[in-house]
Amino acid sequence: MTAPTPHQTTCPYCGVGCGVKASLDGRTMTVKGDDTHPANQGRLCSKGTALGNTFGLEGRLLEPRIRRNGQLEHATWDEALSQVAAKFAQVVAEHGPDAVAFYVSGQLLTEDYYAVNKLAKGYIGTANVDTNSRLCMSSAVAAHKQAFGADLVPGTYDDLTEADMLVFSGHNAAWTHPVLYRRIETRQNQFRVCIDPKRTDTAKAADLHLMIRPQTDIRLWNGLCAHLIARDAIDHDFIDAHTQGFSRLMASLSADDQSIEAVAEDCGISPVDLKKFYDAFLHTPKVVSLFSMGSNQSSQGVHKGLALINAHLLSGKIGKPGAAPFSITGQPNAMGGREVGGLANMLAAHMDFDEVSKSLVQRFWDSPTIAPKAGLKAVDMFEAVRSGKIKAIWIMATNPMVSMPDTNKIHEALSNCEMVVVSDVIARTDTMNMAHIQLPAAAWGEKDGTVTNSERVISRQRNLTDLPGQVRPDWAIIAEVGRRMNTAWETAFNWAGPDEVFAEHAGLTAFENNGRRFLDLGGLSGMTKAEYDALQPVRWPFKADGLPSTRLFSDGKFNTPNGRARLVPPIVRGPANQTSPEFPFHLNSARVRDHWHTMTRTALAPELNRHLTEPLLDIHPRDARRLHIKDGRLAVVTTAYGEAILKARVTDDVREGNLSVPMHWTRQFAPFGRSNQLINPAVDPMSGQPEFKHTPATVKAY
Ligand code: SF4
């Protein structure tokens, strides 16, 4: 008997984007890391290794369903798609395009994302398309756009081992991006600093842990910038030739006391440790600063990113081997979604809603309309559903009933909505349960397309088996609804396969580009289906006349109109909601090592449930003693938004006055321990990213 042939594909979990070799025998799958993939070079973490154990059909939605008289009943695709198309068309006709919305996901493939953006922005005429990536990295996107002129990640994973110093700023890489972390660990003699109010595994392994007060990151990074200036350790040539805004930044920094003692006091850390960090940054030419959810999920997330980027621009530590500010994404395809305009405030191919871009995209799409302005970002979108402004919403591949902040409001919103369409792979999720129409989507291993990881590498996710039951790929479902909404749209949504969608997306990135935008996939736009099927990982930009790129900005040119990076003064503000006598604790929420999002897939693998069998509330020993909360006993956490009951873990891994809860557990797995019903819906005013890392709370023994 011959062994099944392994297929090259990509892990569907995090933004590391590891290559996987998967062999299939029926629906029995064996996986191993793809040693030819540049991201992981053969490694996989616990989640990737367990992929085979999550590939069964248990719990799958395999047929369309329509709610009739309160009950979900089997329906044909024809019935389901006709109802979706008719309702969306009716709402648009009666209330205008902005009365419909699409809430999508970093789990979608780039082709799916492209299709929904084209339908909404170019044909329906609304930019109400937002993604759960809003919750993950939209602050980094906004910081990139301000500093570099476009959403551009400068470095590559090779820079992480090339660097002599790594800074993890709000990034528990050991748990959230494990393969990347393993790769980093292969590098000897590298000074590692972790900036985090929690003593995470990454912090424990670091040479220096700055256990700062929550939300004092900007103060810390501004202090570093001031330190570099005061020591004349800035790169004058780089600043003069490649940046703008230096005087404004200087003036802004000088408004605060930037002495080591004052900054350390405000951040709640030792001045000796702070000076050690500042001096190490100052004396080490090759530094990479990684930032992730701990930095982004804040009402000041954009300015946190800008403060970190400023330190790199001032010292010229960018565009060189081993030197970069580096945003690491959570979702497997947060980057691909951004590339096609998956955020409500982006049009397509990294373009904004300016007149030139709108005209360009509309002409490329040959579309009847174009969304005139940015749409509603995730929190505002669901608020508009709750208030009745949005009357029909289509949720794809995500579970906002668990993953959004203030989930009681999401329940209210979906309960009041005239039509909730959910396309997903799992039959019973908290969000699926709210649907009027359920559409069965193809899962990982069944769908076919591309994803982009955190270092701008595009890889193929491949279908390894026939589609089970009646499931369909997301892009095909979206295209069919487009065709049914208006027969005149037939040609625009008539793709024969994902290769044609990708070719169109690549063509749009290159259309009338002339070097205006760094995002250029012209080198991939003429691909045949055979070439698409055989596509190996490739990093963009990849122009028609060039080679795939490596790191960006090595020539000192940025994507701003004058080619200079912007030094933007970051403002030190507190969190949106302050602690009070009623809610005296800072409540933080976080991911755990072996679960992904709302556990719809990872909970299927027994080995992934063993790491942490239930959600635990981390509380400092002094707080626990004072409140008579015992380790392993239940505690009640209350905020202005909701209440949860969780088992306490008494640990000095959190600061006194701080609490931490994991974000994954659903009603099915922890009926009383769902954390996001506690989380405040405050957002960063620029990025719209919610402040998951700080909600005022109180706690008592159960
Ligand atoms: Fe998958 Fe991320 Fe683990 Fe790689 S590090 S195997 S992409 S979950």
SS3 content of the chain, % helix, strand, coil (to 5): 35, 20, 45
From residue 9, give the alpha-carbon distance in Å to each of 148, 157, 403. 32, 19, 27
DSSP state of 639: E
- Predicted confidence band at 3 (pLDDT cuts at 50, 70, 90)? low
User: ipTM score here?
Assistant: 0.99
Sheet of 129-131: strand order equals 71-74, 65-68, 437-440, 419-424, 392-396, 100-104, 129-131
pLDDT value of position 638: 98
Can you read off the two tokens belonging to residue 166?
């790594």
Pocket test for ligand 1, best of 14, 595, 601 (most atoms within 8 A of CB): 14
178 CB near ligand 1 (under 6 Å) = yes
Q: Which two tokens mark 580?
A: 């009070």
Asked whether 51 lines ligand 1 (CB < 6 A), one says no
656 residue type, one letter: E
CB-based contacts of 508, cutoff 8 Å, min separation 6: 348, 349, 361, 364, 365
Could you tell me the two tokens for 223? 């202090």
- State the residue for tokens 């850390």: 269
CA–CA gap between residue 225 and residue 388 (Å, rounded) = 47
pLDDT for 4 equals 61
Q: Which two tokens stand for residue 15?
A: 């933004």
Q: Is the peptide bond before 537 cis (omega within 30 degrees of 0)?
A: no
What's the gap in Å between 20 CA and the centre of ligand 1?
9
Residue 10 alpha carbon, nearest atom of ligand 1:
7
pLDDT value of position 592: 83
Q: Is the CB of 212 under 6 A from ligand 1?
A: no
Q: Where are the domains of the chain?
A: 7-54, 79-133+332-494, 136-330+561-566, 585-701
pLDDT at 582 over 70: yes
**Which of 16, 182, 452, 608, when mutated, tests ligand 1's pocket best, judged by the most ligand atoms within 8 Å of its CB?**
16
CATH number 3.30.360.10 given to 7-54: no
Calculate mean pLDDT across residues 483-489: 97
Q: What is the overall mean pLDDT for the chain?
A: 95
CA atoms of 330 and 561, how far apart (whole Å):
30
What is the β-pairing status of strands 392-396 and 324-327? unpaired
The number of residues making up the chain comes to: 702
Instruction: Please report the pLDDT score of residue 28 as a whole number.
Output: 86
Phi and psi (nearest 5°) for 315?
Answer: -95, 5
Q: Which of 46, 172, 179 to mutate to test the pocket of ligand 1 (most atoms within 8 A of CB)?
A: 179
User: Which of 9, 44, 461 should be mutated for ligand 1, with most atoms under 8 A from CB?
Assistant: 44
Percentage of the chain beyond pLDDT 70 is 99
What distance in Å separates the CA atoms of residue 8 and residue 679, rounded to the nearest whole number?
39
Q: Does any ligand 1 atom lie closer than 6 A to the CB of residue 18? A: yes
Per-residue pLDDT tens digits for 114-158: 999 999 999 999 999 999 999 999 999 999 999 999 999 999 999
449-466 burial, b at 16+ Cβ within 10 Å, e below that, comes to bbbbbbbbbbbbbbbbee
Q: Six-digit token pair at 273?
A: 């440790």
Cα 291 to middle of ligand 1, angstroms: 18
Q: What is the pLDDT of residue 612?
A: 83
Q: How far is CA 680 from the centre of its chain?
A: 19
Measured CA to CA, the distance from residue 214 to residue 50 in angstroms comes to 34
Q: Would you state the pLDDT for residue 427? A: 95
Sequence letter at residue 184: I
Q: Which two tokens stand for residue 62?
A: 């395999």
Q: Report how far residue 3's alpha carbon sits from residue 25's, in angstroms, rounded to the nearest whole number.
A: 9
At 287 the pLDDT is 98
Least confident of 106-110, 132-136, 336-340, 600-604: 600-604
Element holding 227 (H helix, E strand): helix 217-230
pLDDT, position 1: 45
Asked if the 585-701 domain carries CATH number 3.40.50.300, the reply is no
47 lines ligand 1 (CB under 6 A): yes
Give pLDDT, residue 574: 86
Amino acid residing at 53: N
Q: What is the mean pLDDT of residues 392-410?
A: 96
pLDDT tens per residue across span 60-91: 999 999 999 999 999 999 999 999 999 999 99
Instruction: Say yes or no: CB of residue 11 within 6 Å of ligand 1.
Output: yes
Residue nearest to ligand 1 atom 4, measured at CA = 18
Write out the DSSP string of 645-678.
EEEEEE-TTB-TTEEEEES---TTT-TT--STTS
Query: Which is nearest to 47 in space by CA: 520, 521, 603, 504?
Result: 603
d(CA 122, CA 117): 7
Pocket flag, ligand 1, residue 344 (CB < 6 Å) = no
Name the superfamily (CATH) of residues 136-330+561-566: Dimethylsulfoxide Reductase, domain 2 (3.40.228.10)
More confident residue, 515 or 291: 291
DSSP string, 36-94: T-TTTTT---HHHHGGGGG-S-TTB--S-EEEETTEEEE--HHHHHHHHHHHHHHHHHH
Q: Which two tokens stand for residue 269?
A: 């850390």
Mean pLDDT score, 289-312: 97
Cα separations in angstroms, 20 against 44, 51, 533: 8, 10, 16
At a CB cut-off of 8 Å and minimum separation 6, what does 214 contact? Answer: 197, 575, 586, 588, 655, 658, 693, 694
Lowest pLDDT segment from 176-190, 234-248, 435-449, 659-673: 659-673
Q: Is a pLDDT exceeding 60 seen at residue 2?
A: no
Residues 256 and 273: their CA atoms lie apart, in Å, by: 20
Arithmetic mean of pLDDT, 239-266: 97
What pLDDT is attached to residue 670?
79
Whose C-alpha lies nearest to ligand 1, atom 5? 179
Q: Which CATH architecture has domain 79-133+332-494?
A: 3-Layer(aba) Sandwich (3.40)
Q: Answer whether 497's CB lies under 8 Å from 115's CB.
A: no
Token couple for 124: 């329906």
Report whether 470 contacts 63 (CB < 8 A): yes
Token digits for 539? 């990093």
Task: Give the pLDDT confidence score for residue 546 in this predicted structure.
Answer: 84
Is 153 within 8 Å of 452 (Cβ atoms)? no
Our mutation pick for probing the ligand 1 site, out of 10, 177, 292, 331, counting the most ligand atoms within 8 A of Cβ, is: 177
Contact 303, 576 (CB under 8 A): no
The answer to whether the CB of 50 is under 6 A from ligand 1 is no
Task: Yes or no: say if 294 and 304 are a contact pair by the CB < 8 Å rule.
Answer: no
User: Residue 349: how many CB atoms within 10 A of its CB?
Assistant: 25
Residue 671: the pLDDT is: 79
CA-nearest of 91, 137, 152 to 295 is 137
Q: How far apart are CA 686 and CA 245, in angstroms?
A: 20
Give all strands of the β-sheet with 449-452 in edge-to-edge order: 449-452, 457-461, 538-539
Cα angle for residues 131, 135, 139 (degrees, 5° grid) = 105
Residue 353 CB contacts under 8 Å (≥ 6 apart), including other chains = 127, 345, 347, 371, 372, 373, 374
Strand partners for 67? 72
CB-based contact 417:385 (threshold 8 Å): yes
Query: What integer pLDDT is reported at residue 524 of this predicted model?
Result: 94
Scanning the structure block, which residue is given the tokens 């999720």? 429
Six-digit token string for 530? 């055979």
What is the CB neighbour count within 10 angstroms for residue 83?
Answer: 18
State if residue 392 touches ligand 1 by the CB under 6 angstroms criterion: no
Range from 45-54, 206-215, 603-612 carrying the lowest mean pLDDT: 603-612
Please give the pLDDT value at position 610. 83
